Amino acid sequence: MNLSWKTLKKFLNTLILVSLVFTFSCIENESGKDCGCYSETTRTIPESANLIGKISYKIKTNDNGYYSNRYWIVYIDPNCSNCVHSMIVCNEDILDEEFEVLKNGETYFEVSFAGKLKNVCNRIYSPADYTYEHITLTKIEKQ
């Protein structure tokens, strides 16, 4: 009887361990849908909004490695000088060769743009009037 109790105890412990592994792996996969370039769209910037922003290429510095080596579009709301919306471009393949010059990290272009916004996975703590999001561009034109 003592042997069967040990066997049952081993079986239950194994079952609990396997259940925990599956549970946590599912939670991790679920969170991947909430953020990043392949997550669901949270908001859309339509072409009719006619937004003009600045696109640049952020290179990694010693001080700041936040989403480095990516194209960023920064839009400052004309009705709120403190409201700065920073968008990290997901679909860089939409950008023409003329944008390659931005990879020097020292220049920017003014662009009109539209696209689908998604949450960033690595959230940054900043004032409430600063936003950081991914954008899948549906339109971009150099001004």
Domains of the chain by start residue, with CATH: 43-142 (2.40.50)
Residue with tokens 């412990």: 13
Residue 42 has pLDDT above 90, yes or no: yes
In this structure, the dihedral spanned by the alpha carbons of residues 93, 133, 57 and 107, taken in order and rounded to 10 degrees, is 120
pLDDT above 70: percentage of residues in the chain = 78
* Ordered DSSP codes for 24-56: HHHHHHHHHTSSSTTS---EEE-GGG-EEEEEE
Residue 133 has pLDDT above 70, yes or no: yes
pLDDT at 66: 83
Q: What are phi and psi of 44, to 5 degrees?
A: -125, 135
